[in-house]
Structure 1
Amino acid sequence: MTILVIGKSGQLAYELKQVAGDDVICLGRNEVDITNKESLYETLNKVKPAAVINASAYTAVDKAESEPKVAELINVRGVANLAAVCKKASVFLVHVSTDYVFNGHKGAPYTVDDKIEPQGVYGKTKAEGEKALLDNLPDSSCLIRTAWVYSVHGTNFVKTMLRLMADKPQLGVIDDQVGTPTWARGLAEACLFAAKNRVHGVYHWTDEGVCSWYDFAFAIQELGVEKGLLEQAVPLLPIPSLQYPTPAKRPHYSVLDKSTTRETFSSIRPSYWRTQLSAMLDELKTNQSAEK
């Protein structure tokens, strides 16, 4: 079963390749242009995939505030094009969205049916992309919202924290934004399950549990020292968001309810976030040792 992955350089595409190997074909922006329907349709005709996973997105949350048209081109028009082309070719489509489509004020886990109310350009374009998908391909697509994604590949919070903890005498980390970390490996497995089993509808996928960015950083340091990725611990200071202003608003609470996911994706149930973090750090250590 050949699955076409749109996107090649990101964390999700990397993990999809690790999990599925030759069952997936990952194409980057130089090989297929999601903003061009003709390019997409030619690619689908050539590859003839059983399903498509869209692992491409404009994810620069703060930069999107000054580049709304670029974000819209990829996150809205690109998704609309994918939905239209997959519909024409009768191909199942898995699309990944984000916790940023919610306003972050609920204070309880967001269900798949909760009101969409994004607070910034990134969230708004992702929400509009969701609408384009569901309007055009409701019965032959799977929309998976996720949050706080990290991997051994690319730039992410885990690797940034490890670098800063090795270089700085102490760190301030935001403690009033709460969510759930997600190892991209588990997200990749969920996307593959949806693609292979044609699971249609809207679902949430993150690891299990809840934490703040401060809690997440504390665990990264604790496990990093334990595994020899860090020589020693440095003081971590909890700070409010107001002390670290950013161009884009972040949701203060963006835990995603996974009730329907646990039922439908029963063979690949999410794991506790700290367990996943430990597994990712083991892989990172192995990779670093191999490079020496």
Structure 2
Amino acid sequence: MRNILITGSKGQLGSELQVIAGEYPQFQYFFTDVDELDISDKDDLEKYIANNDIDAVVNCAAYTAVDAAEKDVETCYKVNRDAVRNIGETAAKYKIKVIHVSTDYVFDGTNHIPYTEDMPVSPTSVYGKSKLAGEEALMSACPDSVIIRTSWLYSSYGNNFVKTMMRLGRERDSLNVIFDQIGTPTYAADLAQAIMTVLTFKDWNPGIFHFSDEGVCSWYDFAKSIHRLAKIECNVNPIETKDYPVATPRPFYSVLNKAKIKSIYQIEIPHWEESLQRCIKLLANS
């Protein structure tokens, strides 16, 4: 394995992969975003993979605007299902490896114990349904693929909850944040390292895996930690989901069980607060 195509390279995860690429000099990287390569165009994708002798694809591209997806169904499925099918079919044809990133939204969020990979999926939103359709399309076309589901992704790159809470915390005296949705924040830099571990591991073990940072919290707890670590003085008030109406229902509980990826790929995962501290230090120095 030598030439690695990374799609969606300008997003949070793609940006973090660019940061650590130099730590793995055995690979030649092809970082692309939609401007350079539209993965929903199968002919273009196939031509790009053939011309550049690609050995593996890491698909970070996704339509992630959860509320907008409810109205923009066609575009959402084009990116999250059809483009993923294109990758799978092309990968099968050229016998190359695929790592694809999926989401906790494939579950309905009604559980009370962490979700394992073999628990029943039941997405409730267009976004979640499109991501599940992408998983199914990929595994149907190229069962030798690795799918990594993650949750509550943030980074020093792009737009995310951490940067929003820091900005609003400095602009306002008080904020209302939901306390009855429970999950695990995931620093995209940690997920990027996990992906590179999978790529460099001695054995290729296909299938579905879960990855988030360790621990659990509510969005309220997350916001409080962000402000504490960033030394921001702001009164954060806990509110219920019903008091913050959105177009799309969010999972009330979306904690992922990471035992499988830790066991098979021997990955050590930090606690979410440790990773948050690293991210906030970077943001403070930028």
Shorter-normalised TM-score: what interval? over 0.9
Displacement of 1:200 after TM fit? 1.1
Q: Which residue of 1 aligns with 2:14?
A: 13
Q: Which residue of 2 aligns with 1:239?
A: 239
Q: 1:168 aligns with which of 155, 166, 172?
A: 172
Please state if 1:216 is matched with 2:222. yes
Give the conservation status (yes or no) of the 8 Å contact 1:4–1:47: no
Q: Which residue of 2 aligns with 1:200?
A: 206
Q: Which residue of 1 aligns with 2:150?
A: 146
Displacement of 1:41 after TM fit? 0.7
Whole-angstrom CA distance in 2 between matches of 1:190 and 1:248: 30
Q: Secondary structure at the match of 1:44?
A: helix
TM norm structure 1: 0.93
Whole-angstrom CA distance in 2 between matches of 1:89 and 1:259: 32
Paired letter, 2:91 = C
Displacement of 1:64 after TM fit? 0.2
Q: Secondary structure at the match of 2:92?
A: helix
Give the conservation status (yes or no) of the 8 Å contact 1:194–1:200: no
Please state if 1:271 is matched with 2:270. yes
Whole-angstrom CA distance in 2 between matches of 1:187 and 1:155: 17
Please state if 1:253 is matched with 2:258. no
Paired letter, 1:59 = T
Paired letter, 1:276 = S
Give the conservation status (yes or no) of the 8 Å contact 1:5–1:54: yes
Query: Runs of 4 or more off by more than 4 Å in structure 1?
Result: none
Paired letter, 2:180 = D
Give 1:24-39 correspondences, 5 Å limit: 24-39=29-44
Q: How many residues align?
A: 279
Give the conservation status (yes or no) of the 8 Å contact 1:10–1:154: yes
Displacement of 1:282 after TM fit? 1.1
Give the gaps of 5 or more residues in structure 1: 288-292
Once the two structures are superposed, what CA deviation does each residue of 1:169-188 show, in whole Å capped at 9, x if it has no partner? 10000000000000000111
Q: Which residue of 2 aligns with 1:45?
A: 50
Q: Which residue of 2 aligns with 1:290?
A: none
Give the conservation status (yes or no) of the 8 Å contact 1:52–1:195: no
Displacement of 1:201 after TM fit? 1.0
Paired letter, 2:250 = R
Q: Which residue of 1 aligns with 2:126?
A: 121
Q: Identical aligned pairs, as a percentage?
A: 41
Q: Secondary structure at the match of 1:62?
A: helix
Whole-angstrom CA distance in 1 between matches of 2:90 and 2:172: 49
Q: Secondary structure at the match of 2:21?
A: helix
Q: Which residue of 2 aligns with 1:55?
A: 60
Displacement of 1:25 after TM fit? 1.9
Whole-angstrom CA distance in 1 between matches of 2:125 and 2:8: 24
Whole-angstrom CA distance in 2 between matches of 1:131 and 1:31: 26
Once the two structures are superposed, what CA deviation does each residue of 1:253-275 show, in whole Å capped at 9, x if it has no partner? 00001111110121x31100000
Displacement of 1:49 after TM fit? 2.2
Whole-angstrom CA distance in 1 between matches of 2:194 and 2:206: 12
Once the two structures are superposed, what CA deviation does each residue of 1:170-216 show, in whole Å capped at 9, x if it has no partner? 00000000000000001111112223333311100000000000000
Whole-angstrom CA distance in 2 between matches of 1:55 and 1:94: 9
Once the two structures are superposed, what CA deviation does each residue of 1:23-82 show, in whole Å capped at 9, x if it has no partner? 432111121111111101111012212211001000000000010111000000000000
Give the conservation status (yes or no) of the 8 Å contact 1:148–1:181: yes
Displacement of 1:2 after TM fit? 2.5
Q: Over aligned residue pairs, what C-alpha RMSD do you find? A: 1.0
Paired letter, 1:223 = L
Whole-angstrom CA distance in 2 between matches of 1:264 and 1:281: 31
Q: Secondary structure at the match of 1:125?
A: helix
Q: Secondary structure at the match of 2:66?
A: coil
Give the conservation status (yes or no) of the 8 Å contact 1:79–1:132: yes
